[in-house]
Amino acid sequence: MSNLSNQLVIAERDEVARGIRLLLATPLIHERGAPESFDLVRRRRDPIKKWFEYYCGWSLVVEPRLGYARLAKVRAMADASRPPRRHRSGRAPFDRRRYVLLCVAGAELLAAPVTTIGLLADRVTRATATDEVLTTFDASARGERMAFVDVLRMFESLGVVEVVDGATESYVDSAEAKVLYRVDAALLMRLLATTTGVSQLAVPIDEVPTRLDELLAAVSRERRYGVVGTTPVSDVQRNLWLRHSVFRRLVDDPVVYLDDLTDDERAYLNSPTGRQLVRRAAGESGFLLEERAEGMLLVDPDGIATDSRFPDDSSNAKVAALLLLDSMDMAVTIEQLRLTASALLTRFPSWAKAYRGDNGPAELVTDALAVLRGFGLVRIGDGVVHPLPAAARYAVSGARSADQDNAEAQR
Amino acid sequence: MEPIRVPAEMFRFTSGDRAGLYISVLHAFTEANERLETALSLDDLRARLRAVGRLEALEDEDLTRALGQLREWDLVDVNQNHAENYLTAADYERNNLQYSLTRRGEAAFAGVLHALSVLASTGALQTAVLDAIADRLGDLLTLLADDGADRRIFTTVMELEGHLEALSTNTKQFNGELQRLLRADGADLSTFHEVKAATVAYLQEFVTNLDQRARTIEARIGQLEEHGASRLHLRALRGADLPKISGTDPGPEWLAHRQARWEGLCAWFLPPDGARPRVEQLRLVARRAIITLLQVLDRITESRRRASSAVADFRELARWFTVLPAQDDLHRLWATAFGLSSARHAHLGHPDPELVSSSATWAEADPVAVSVLLRSSGRTERFSRTGRVREVAAIKAARAEQALAERAQLEAAWDMLDTDGRVRLSHFGKLDHSVFERLLDLLGKALASSPSAAGTRRSTTSDGKIEIVLRDPADGAVAQLITPRGRFSGPDYEIEIRAFGGRQVKEAAR
């Protein structure tokens, strides 16, 4: 008999798994930018929605007619290594000015459904001038215009504004550039993933820097879990919270160490139910689950659900990170790593041109450590780098030395 | 299309201080014309003016001046009437001048009336109009066959043109209103909602009905074209009996008009050069409007939610970003507030993760396979992961084999059943179960068909290869068939089972 229905089930399972990982990598998928991904998520939206709701408590909104899918990742992030990047060749992360302009422009874009870059810049100037905290936006400075353009390019890529006429980039050269935008206000509002409005907290502005952790937790607190940690909540709410908080880490972070979890979370993850659910979730979303004594991690063999890969040869810093990791059997000081780095630079003379300056080895170490930290492989404190357990995944295996010696001999 | 040229000064009377008076005067003349009075004296005119609702007193001098002005614009004509019996000189002076509308005056006023009616009307897309067009076309087809029906052809052509006109004006107006509706933002939201939802429902209904009706019309136009549209129009002209008032023969011009209208009709439904019929454009417009309206509705519902607080949130966030000291804190705030950052995962794993115990430490487990090249030369081998391709050759072969087997089984069954002439059902006697099932299937099919006059029922299998002919037993005998699974009894039909195609060849060879 035909096993067509079996084939369909397999196809659906693959697509759902792919859709889940696509959304983890890009929580906002716009039809204009990624038609194929959007189409997949649109077709399989029901099972994908259920998966995110059950395991992570995250809501997925798919708007087939408006052409976007938005996964609201509610979570107080402790990881600073995944910033938004400029849409330029350097892919430099956003800086303070860009973040500020992004927020101010976001507020001003809500005012009218259609606007031009000049009008928007005027509104941003006025808004920043009237606010005593913000630095006034100065459209006559090229650097400012550049930052403004980066912000608008970001909105464009998110699908919040659509260029009707002109090119945003032309504003860098001249403040007189004419660019016409259509604004999707509904989508713009969907950008905010906070459960409590930032403005509703009404925190005095000078307290913000000192209370940041508490504030991040406050804006992402959800009422359905009760008030975690302070007042006793019902068992149902606590279990829901345990499941969601554990899975949010698992699906979003490269490694989850048991030491970083609370006692309750650790107990949940070690319970038969917890383990079983983790395995099921990984299977349904196409991840490989790696369980170890110290923690667990999800491996995405297709590399879909990640913004960056390690180990990889896409940058000198990543290669250096892998090589430095080999030299880290136990905690080492940054000084030692610098020595190793400069040894590497001498050993491979034609490699890493950008790090050949006086300060080269130090910069190489800084960048490489940022990579390792981003993948949850090292911890840095007081000038000492501690390799974390998962770093052993990338250790040099026994078979390697002969190969490498050969390779080096050939140089 | 010819550019439109309006004669100079034709509509001058609609503007200026005295426009009201002018319009009343023309109105009065038109009213009088409807009662077949075409020439009015000053006094007649005054009475008529009251009848059309201009009640205030009017000096003779003003009225004369107004008429003079209208005459100057060539809207009104004046001539002297010598036929009356005038009693006094004053009477003669007053009444011998008679005013009437010129052709241009009639047209100008009709234009004004039309403009007002367009202003007041609402456009609608009506399937009824489409039906009427299809009906009139059908009528014309039947009338063409009848020799003496010229007059009826004339009236039907006129009706057809009327409906076409209604279709195109209605569509124009409806489309205009639709586009205005799409543009209008920020109207009263609840009515906005209601109106748009109703419009969407209406459009959906219309589009659903459009296709089928357009096809009917298209087919009928095609048939009429075969007869020749110009012949149709010639007969309509004969039926029209046009009078020759102005001396020239109105026939050619009339025919040209009909031809133009006919082309208009074709442009709507069946353009000659294979261009897109306008009716299809209509459907496109309707579809697009449905989508746009729904989007606007969504947008309204969405943006009404927490619009103001979003602005405040964005502003507050900008302040927070300004005061946070460390770069890392900025990134964390971004990630938390916007939830847009990507997940991050390792992509290298063990081929079979279950082989390693979950209680082992990472140090005890084997490391994952990192490209050797990466460590030695800083490059990964550039071959990408092979896609997951399933091995399907075996499945394919198995399926083909199964299909062959089934086919063979089927052939065998047909061979068993082939009666090679007429037999009784009881003739089969003992049957294999699968063969019996085929037979039952065929019997069922034949019995489901209605018997012919001679009492035979006929049916074929769905692939058309096997035919069965069935007659009720004349003697009412009962047949019994025995299969390995039991006994079947039923009326002893006369049966003939034949295979088409290959089977006959086989028979011939036999």
pLDDT of residue B509: 41
Q: B352 or A301, which is more confident? A: A301
Does B383 reach chain A within 8 Å, measured CB to CB? no
- Check A212 against B353: CB less than 8 A apart: no
Q: What is the mean pLDDT of chain A?
A: 86
**Which residue in the block uniquely carries the two structure tokens 């109703």?**
B198
Instruction: Quick: pLDDT tens for A236-264.
Output: 888 888 899 899 999 999 999 998 888 88
Q: Does position A89 have pLDDT exceeding 60, yes or no?
A: yes
- Check B339 against A299: CB less than 8 A apart: no
| Shortest alpha-carbon distance between residue A80 and chain B (Å) | 5
Q: B19 or B123, which is more confident? A: B19
Q: How confident is the model at residue B379 (pLDDT cuts 50, 70, 90)?
A: low
Q: How confident is the model at residue A151 (pLDDT cuts 50, 70, 90)?
A: very high
CATH topology classification for B12-118: Arc Repressor Mutant, subunit A (1.10.10)
Which residues 214-233 of chain B have a CB within 8 Å of chain A? Answer: none
Closest to A128 measured CA to CA, from A112, A147, A155: A147
Instruction: Quick: pLDDT tens for A106-136.
Output: 998 988 888 999 889 988 988 888 788 888 8
Q: Does position B505 have pLDDT exceeding 50, yes or no?
A: no
- Check A82 against B341: CB less than 8 A apart: yes
CB A176 within 8 A of CB A117: no
- Check B337 against A301: CB less than 8 A apart: no
Which range (A272-281, B235-244, B299-308) has the least confidence? B299-308
Does B394 reach chain A within 8 Å, measured CB to CB? no
% of chain B beyond a pLDDT of 70: 89
Q: Does position A362 have pLDDT exceeding 80, yes or no?
A: yes
Q: A262 or A4, which is more confident? A: A262
Does B397 reach chain A within 8 Å, measured CB to CB? no
Which range (B184-188, B374-378, B459-463, B495-499) has the least confidence? B184-188
pTM reported for the whole predicted model: 0.59
Q: Does position B84 have pLDDT exceeding 60, yes or no?
A: yes
pLDDT of residue A17: 92
Instruction: Quick: pLDDT tens for A301-352.
Output: 888 999 888 888 888 888 888 888 888 878 888 888 888 888 888 888 877 7
- The predicted model gives B438-461 an average pLDDT of 80
Q: Does position A16 have pLDDT exceeding 50, yes or no?
A: yes
| Shortest alpha-carbon distance between residue B314 and chain A (Å) | 5
Alpha-carbon distance of A303 to A293, in angstroms, equals: 25
Report the SS3 class of residue B72.
helix
**Domains (range + CATH), chain A:** 2-72 (no CATH), 96-190 (1.10.10), 199-299 (no CATH), 316-394 (1.10.10.10)
Task: Search chain A and give the residue with CA nearest B382.
Answer: A313
Instruction: Quick: pLDDT tens for B38-62.
Output: 888 888 888 888 888 887 777 888 8
- Check A389 against B361: CB less than 8 A apart: yes
Q: Does position A28 have pLDDT exceeding 90, yes or no?
A: yes
Both tokens assigned to B44: 């007649």
